[in-house]
Amino acid sequence: MTDRFRVIIVDDHPLLREGVAHALSREPDIDVVAQGATRDEAIKLTRTFSPDMIVLDIGIPGGGHAAAQAISEASPATKIVVLTASAEEDDLMAALKAGARAYILKGISARELIGVLRGVWEGERYVAPTLAASLLSDMTASPPALHQTMGPLGALTVRERQILEQVAGGLSNKEIGYSLHLSEKTIKYYMTNILQKLRVRNRVEAAVLVQRSARGVAPVQGA
């Protein structure tokens, strides 16, 4: 992996798109190689430039979800980042299913956006904390009988569910430990157990599994 990564930005609002491009172009490790406004342009530009990352809005003409799906299939090395105003869970789930590595809500600061993009470039995944928290809200609000039908989630202890909810709320291990009067090392231990029980690789995948279970969708191994 090189120190710099190449980015395409696709949004049908020129002022926002150009503002994002300007902010990213000022960073020494980010090259904005092209801009577009539609699904077809997103696909064409990806084929032309083979970028490391594409930042797109799901509301673009032709559909951002369709663009993400096509790009994921045609250029799997291109990391897809959704930057959108939609806080709908259905849009989040559709974006993740289409291959998005991150789901960011517009209104985020330029500094935060750059930080998320760097994290994605390094292999991380990201979901806006407010959305991640809502995905997990059903888990703690549901009666015990429902938890027993939630597959791997039913194996979590009450403490593990507490921790998972706070992780989804954007808290660090240290902050969770402070909240629950536990050491950071203990929280790390719990997180290891949680991910193993859910058979997922990271926190975002855990949130997705919760949402699938709440909707009665069978979990996908390795998803």
Task: Convert the pLDDT of each residue in 25-62 to its tens digit.
Answer: 999 999 999 999 999 999 999 999 999 999 999 999 99
**Structure tokens that stand for 102 in this block:** 């991150």
Domains and CATH numbers, the chain: 5-127 (3.40.50.2300), 132-214 (1.10.10.10)
Position of tokens 């806006």? 128
C-alpha–C-alpha distance, residues 104 and 97, integer Å: 15
CA–CA gap between residue 212 and residue 198 (Å, rounded): 12
CB 34 within 8 A of CB 48: yes
Q: Which two tokens stand for residue 10?
A: 């696709």
Cα first-last separation, the chain: 24
pTM over 0.95: no
Residue with tokens 């994921």: 72
What band does 71 get if pLDDT is binned at 50, 70 and 90? very high
Predicted confidence (pLDDT) at residue 135 exceeds the cutoff of 70: no
The pLDDT tens digits for 200-223 are: 787 777 767 665 655 554 444 443
- Of 163, 101, 108, nearest to 130 by C-alpha is 108
CA distances from 103 to 45, 108, 165, 186, 218 (A): 21, 11, 18, 29, 23
Strands 5-10 and 53-56: parallel
Whether residue 149 has pLDDT greater than 50: no
Over range 116-135, report the average pLDDT: 82
Maximal C-alpha separation, the chain: 53
**Rounded percentage of the chain residues whose pLDDT exceeds 70:** 80
Q: In what helix (H) or strand (E) does residue 197 lie, and over which residues does it extend? A: helix 184-198
